[in-house]
Structure 1
Amino acid sequence: MPPSRRPKKPPRQPAKNRTKDPLTRVAEALERAYPAHDGADSATPADGFVWHPETASLTGVPKISRIPISLLRGIDRQADVLLANTRRHADGLPANNALLWGARGTGKSSLVKAAHEAVNDGRSSSRRLALVEIHREDVETLPRLLVILRDSPRRFILFCDDLTFEGQDASYKALKSVLEGGIEGRPDNVILYATSNRRHMMAREMIENERAAAIHDTEAIEEKVSLSDRFG
């Protein structure tokens, strides 16, 4: 009886790169969350994400903590303006960045989240806005996040709550670059909504320190104080 032969092993396929570039991983995750087609059987994507710069990743938020816009009282004019701007962005029309400033507890962040929900109501999954939260301490990574979102077919609202700058904090320069556009410009599919307890987002002592060290007072504080003016 002839000896049995072991089956030949299939040729080894080249190993896939298990260490993909972080930006590629995030882009692929967005494509999976937001399919190009919108069929009756397609899963509803997450409406909210949180940006994690240390891993260059976005974590989906299954249910955003918020209240209906109809329950917000005393801010009707602000709500109308923000709703109109958000709808324009969702429809692919030019829209402004927005800074909501005022005392604590006046409904600034609640209004942003409620406007996002109201505009998404009734929209198909492919036309729903995604709300991406970026924490205050991660503002300097904004340019990295925009690179990821730029090529997505979706439209985004970047949301930064309680945005203020203290002491020698220089991360405001990254925000200023995004608001002014820089060389590449802000992506058409992204706008920024921020809330702050300060009109100019800068601590008084921060501005005073710059004034004391400068040759011209107006030039010393213009860059920082004018930051809020770059919102729509």
Structure 2
Amino acid sequence: MRFNHSNKSSIAGLIELLSQVESKRKQGFREKPDARALAQRWHPETGFKVIHHPALIPVEELLHREKQLEQIERNTRLFLSGRPANHVLLWGARGTGKSSIIRAILTRHGGKELGMIELDRGGLAALGDLIQILGDQDRKYILFIDDLSFEANDASYKGLKALLDGSLMAPPDNVLVYASSNRRHLLPESMQDNLTAQVVEGELHEGDAIDEKVSLSERFGLWLAFHPFNQDQYLDIVRAQIETFEAATPEQTREIRDETNWQKEALMFARLRGSRSGRVAQQFVRYWLAEKLTDI
């Protein structure tokens, strides 16, 4: 095939265009974390991105999660003091405070000595690269993976599994993983998995499928369970949310609270949503105020 002058010009133009695209991509690519940032996101294709306005939560706003908070708080203090600490899996029902507790830990302990890096499932395959970068930093980091779960045919969890335990690369002392999930074992389970179980010398041995699914969650040294709130706990959270809004519109909110049966309405709202969770409590208060504030 012969190239004329027009072909050569087109190829040169294409190469120049690709070079410009690559240059622009690299301009926004941060290879190392910002040592001053409280929270950042990381993805292998974009590098580190500073979260300028992280969603921080004061520890005092966490209701009926004292036991879980105490355990993860102690684990974080051990980590910051250079003592052995565990990776943490927070599992349980949706809207029960799993992510909120992690954000509260950042609120209390984040700063010069500790930063948090949010990691989505898309970056798990390159997790080894991230760990090598962070291992060379003086600062300590918590990797936050929210809503972590995998489908049956998803092999990306193996990168996380190797990091937590089982890789030739020793995990650095300045990195911990705090992950939240609605699933205790992170992978879907089925009745079919139980059919391969065997009894050997009087002991029940689980099948390979179950062993594989349990092995990932077992690599988290600290499990924190989050169960749904009961009715009284849910109403406590609603009351606290009302008080938060009352600080902004005290006279109007106080009048509405005193003249309406907000407890009955809050329970009805929860039944319609099918959940008594902290998230539903917050949604109810916003809905309730919007309905009652007639001057808007």
Same fold (TM over 0.5): yes
8 Å Cα contact 2:87/2:220 also seen in 1? yes
* Corresponding position of 1:11: none
* Corresponding position of 1:85: 75
Which deviations, in whole Å up to 9, do the C-alpha atoms of 1:40-98 show, x marking residues without a partner?
xxxxx21000012113x100112211321111111101001101111111222221100
Distance in 1 between the 2:50 and 2:82 partners? 23
Distance in 1 between the 2:207 and 2:127 partners? 28
Deviation at 1:181, TM superposition (A): 4.7
Give the aligned residue type for 1:226. Answer: S
* Corresponding position of 2:156: 171
Q: CA RMSD in A?
A: 2.7
Task: Give the alignment of 1:115-194 within 5 angstroms.
Answer: 115-120=105-110, 125=112, 127=113, 129-194=114-179
8 Å Cα contact 1:136/1:162 also seen in 2? no
8 Å Cα contact 1:51/1:132 also seen in 2? yes
Distance in 1 between the 2:197 and 2:49 partners? 43
Distance in 1 between the 2:151 and 2:58 partners? 33
Percent identical residues: 42
* Corresponding position of 1:37: none
1:26 aligns with 2:17: no
Distance in 2 between the 1:74 and 1:229 partners? 26
Unmatched 5+ residue regions in structure 1?
Answer: 1-17, 35-44
Deviation at 1:213, TM superposition (A): 8.9
* Corresponding position of 2:209: 220
How many residues end up aligned between the 2 structures?
Answer: 192
Which deviations, in whole Å up to 9, do the C-alpha atoms of 1:96-118 show, x marking residues without a partner?
10000000000000101101211
8 Å Cα contact 1:179/1:186 also seen in 2? yes
Which deviations, in whole Å up to 9, do the C-alpha atoms of 1:152-174 show, x marking residues without a partner?
11100000000001130011111
1:75 aligns with 2:61: no
Q: Which of 39, 42, 51 lines up with 2:42 in the alignment?
A: 51
Equivalent position SS for 1:204 = coil
8 Å Cα contact 1:166/1:202 also seen in 2? yes
* Corresponding position of 2:98: 108
Equivalent position SS for 2:42 = strand
Distance in 2 between the 1:137 and 1:81 partners? 29
Unmatched 5+ residue regions in structure 2?
Answer: 1-22, 199-204, 222-296
User: TM-score normalized by structure 1?
Assistant: 0.74
- Identify the range of structure 1 (130-139 vs 150-159) with the bigger mean alpha-carbon deviation: 130-139
Distance in 1 between the 2:125 and 2:214 partners? 18
Equivalent position SS for 1:116 = helix
Higher RCO, 1 vs 2 (CA within 8 Å, ≥6 residues apart): 1
Distance in 2 between the 1:174 and 1:161 partners? 16
Give the aligned residue type for 2:219. Answer: R
Deviation at 1:133, TM superposition (A): 0.4
8 Å Cα contact 2:143/2:175 also seen in 1? yes
Structure with the greater alpha carbon radius of gyration: 2
- Identify the range of structure 1 (46-55 vs 185-194) with the bigger mean alpha-carbon deviation: 46-55
8 Å Cα contact 1:214/1:220 also seen in 2? no
* Corresponding position of 2:288: none
Equivalent position SS for 1:26 = coil
Which deviations, in whole Å up to 9, do the C-alpha atoms of 1:110-133 show, x marking residues without a partner?
10110121123xx6x2x2x11000
* Corresponding position of 1:204: 189
